[in-house]
Structures are given as C-alpha cells and as structure tokens.
Structure 1
Amino acid sequence: MIGLKKGRYSARQATTQQDIADAQALRARCFGLAHDEDLFDAHCKHILISRDVDDSLVCCFRMMPLTGADISRSYSAQYYELGALESYDGNMVEMGRFCVDPTVADPDILRVAWGAMTAFVDAHGVKLLFGCSSFAGTETADYLDAFAMLKARHLAPKRWLPRVKAPHVFKFAARLRRAPDVKKAMVRMPPLLRTYLMMGGWVSDHAVVDRQMNTLHVFTGVEIGAIPPARKRLLRAVVG
C-alpha cells in the first residue's frame, strides 16, 4: 500500500469507491470530458495526491501490474501491437490517466507523484514501466521537432518495438527527414514524456491519432534497470 508525504502534499493508494470516483472526476476535468471511466479502472491501483491543508485532490494516476504473458490486457494494447513484449522477462506495470489539476501549478506535485511511482515499482519488483504519452490535440504540425527528436534519440529497441494496430497513426520515424531543433523540441515535448526520456525511456516509431481523447500519443517504455543512477537517487530521495 502506497503512503507518502512530502512538503505540502501526500500520496496514497485509493481504498474506496469514492476515492476512485474522485480520481475519475479529476480526470474528466483535466481531459475535458463529461465523464472518464472505463473497464480498466477495476484492474488498476489508483494513486491519489492531495494537498494537506485542505485535503483537495490535485493529481492522480493509475497503475496496472502485468507480465509479458498478459500484456494484451493492457490499455495500451488497444492501440499498439505489443506481441514483441510478450517475451519480456520480468514484472511490468502500466501507468496511465496521469493528470494534474490545471489550476494548481507546483513542481512539488510531480515530485511526490514520481516518488509514489518509485515506491510502487520497488514494492512490486517492476522491471518495465510503460504507458501512452500524450500530445495535446491531433494535429502534428506543432510537434514535428519533438517527433524528430524522438526518432533521432529515443526509439524503442527493435526487439521491443510496438507495431501499428490503430487505424489512424502518424508514422514519424518513416516520414520525417528533418534534424530536430532541440530547443523547439523540448518546448513542445509533453512534461510527462520529458520525464520518461530523462529516465532513459523509449517510444514507438509512430503516434496514434486518438480523436476521442483529442490527443496524439506514443507508446513509452522505461526499463528500470536502465535508469541513470543519478536519476534513481533523485527519485528515491523523495521516497526516503
């Protein structure tokens, strides 16, 4: 069971249906939906981050423990052909529906969130953390430098590379020939994906065009053993 307090915020695992309903309500607000609930919620551990002074929910995400043998049960498997990862040797966890209340701007929230994620990974002996990292909107033009950087530096190892499954995708690795403008790329890179990349994360060679969620997203994997030591120390400093 996750329980973590740092500064003005506390992270804990949902224990009641009301906790999950509160997380779903925050997700709906953040994603601009009338309601956000799906069949995967029942199979996930939900992590809630609250502000201590008023116990208001400011961030949430969910984590689904898996192995390679049952990766087809994941949320990501709806959009990506993940057959290559069926032979992955080790525990996995899918991290999804990550959101932060847009009215609250405090970097400590993300620090506590990553501390809670680290505690979960350590407790469950996780070897691979994965999920879908989203760019806002479905137009690619504003993100070409970001996609070019993903192609140049962060594509998945061929042995784990997700294949195309969704009907509408942007095959950026095949289509882009430009060298990335690093400054523009980092400005347009989603903050969550940027953090994954700093941990040595890798991505699919294509982005899924998800019109229902109004996003472009890339499959993202982080092999825990490959996280740079300095980054591991920072993450575990929050836990400790």
Structure 2
Amino acid sequence: MAGRDDRGALAALPVSGVLLEKGSYRARLALGADDVLAAQRLRARCFATGTVDQDQFDADCLHVLIECRSSGALAGCFRLMLLESGQELSQSYSSQFYDLSRLVGFSGRMLELGRFCLDPGVLDADVLRLAWGAVTSMVDRQGVALLFGCSSFAGTSPEAYIEAFALLQHRHLAPPLRRPGLKVAEARSFTDLLQGRSAQQKPDLKQAQAQLPPLLRSYLAMGGWVSDHVVVDAALNTCHVFTGLEVTAIPAARKRLLRGVAEPL
C-alpha cells in the first residue's frame, strides 16, 4: 500500500505482490488492510507497544511480509518508503530524529527501510537472508542509490551497548559530508557515552559484534555507516542510530551474493 503518488514505482512491481520465494519462505508486498494489520501486530509484539503498532508513515510506505510458504504464518516484516532524492527527506520517518540537512543535496533515489521485525520465535537465518534478498530486488527495480533508516537496539539504555558504540565510532561513522546532526533532546553522542575510556582503548570486537543487532551487522558488512550519536526512543522501547548505505559502496562480492538470493528460482 502507498499513500503518495507512487504509480511509477508500483508499475515496476509484480502484480501478484510476490517479490521472492526461496526455501520455506516467501517475501511479498502487503496487498490490503488485513496484510498491513498483520504486520502492525507483529511490530507490536517485537517492540512491545500494545496490540497494534502504527503511525502516520504507514500510509506512505510499501509493506513487505516474510511468511512461511506452507502455512502462511508471518515470520517477519518491514516497510519501505521510496524518495526521488534528498529533497524529499523531510517526508521520512528518520527525519523526525536526525538532522539530515547534509543529505538534502543527494541527487539519487533513496529508499528508507523501517520497522524491520523478525518473529522472536523464528530462529531460521533464512528469514533474514530472504528479507535482504527482497530489499535487493527493490533496490535494483527502483534504481536506488542510497538505502537508509534507523537501526534499533532493544531497550532505552545505551550504556548496555558500550562496546558496540565504541566499534561504530572507531570504524563506521558516516563521512563528514553525509553525517546526520543532532535534532532531538533524547540523544547521546558516542563521545559522551565513551567518556570513561582512554583514547587508546580499542573496542572488544567479540562483545561489540554480539551487541550489534542483526540488521545493523548486515548494513556494516556492506559498507554502511552510522550517525555519531544514538537516539533514545521511549515510545518503541529502543535506542537507535541513523544508518546509511550507498549502493555504489557495496563490495562486488557482496552484491553477487545478494543478487544470488534475489534472483527467482
């Protein structure tokens, strides 16, 4: 479903709504209100926000469901908002929390990936793999140049993820000309969080990797970058960092793997 004038984008999508089928799962677009409601209920379970998680951005997004092919059970979901360029960034969910003025001049198409949820009871790695295959399919279909969104850590205590933030500051900050600025009061800079550490202290890589959420690990493995601060979002019981991934920066080997998943059997 899409509330904006996305006829051009939607025209390139499969009429059936099915983006990808592999193994036991399929990724498909939500085709009506019942599908969107199912995604909102899964989001509520994952974020502990009540019976339904919904906001004003849902109407402007494409919703993708990852479901079991045999039973139809929902294993995961996410939503996508297509922007023609950085001039449209003010319409995005992320712009509520981050000053994205350094990205306004970005001329290529952008895709915001949000509300990424996996059913806590589903431990099959193929679900995450299929989700990224579906995202890859959308990126290629729509000629997207920049993928972005908020990567969430569970809970509202950034101190629980010190090693992860040390790693992000050490290796994965956005380039200065792309770096999001502070916008909300409920934010903590990495520098502030790491005040007690010496400049020579390196992050504990094993702990850092364990603390990073799977979605963010995937972004970083493809060359993604993050804001230099974390936003505490009490409404969703999370803290998150802005994450960007320029498609041209993805290593060739990683692109081949992603497109291998994205190709239909």
| Aligned residue in 2 for 1:3 | 19
Does 1:64 find its partner at 2:81?
A: yes
The AA in structure 1 aligned to 2:32 is: T
CA pair 122-173 structure 1, distance change in 2 beyond 3 A: farther
CA contact (8 A) 2:162 2:193 kept: no
Match for 2:180 among 162, 167, 180?
162
Matches within 5 A, 1:1-240: 1=13, 2-34=18-50, 35-66=52-83, 67-173=85-191, 175-176=193-194, 177=199, 178-240=201-263
Q: Which range moves more in the overlay, 172-181 or 120-129?
A: 172-181
CA RMSD, aligned part only?
A: 1.0
After TM superposition, give the deviation of residue 13 of structure 1 in Å. 0.8
1:136-181: CA deviations, max 9, x gaps?
Answer: 1111222111100000100001001100001111100455244211
Distance 1:196 1:128 in 2: 12
Distance 1:89 1:157 in 2: 17
Gaps of 5+ in 2: 1-12
**3-state SS in 2 of match to 1:123:** helix
CA pair 19-83 structure 1, distance change in 2 beyond 3 A: same
CA pair 155-173 structure 1, distance change in 2 beyond 3 A: farther
Gaps of 5+ in 1: none
**3-state SS in 2 of match to 1:160:** coil
1:87-108: CA deviations, max 9, x gaps?
Answer: 0120000000000111111000
| Aligned residue in 1 for 2:4 | none
Distance 2:249 2:21 in 1: 27
Q: What is the TM-score of this pair, normalised by structure 2? A: 0.88
**3-state SS in 2 of match to 1:24:** helix
**3-state SS in 2 of match to 1:21:** helix
**3-state SS in 1 of match to 2:57:** helix
Distance 1:155 1:231 in 2: 20
Distance 1:93 1:173 in 2: 29
Distance 2:258 2:98 in 1: 29
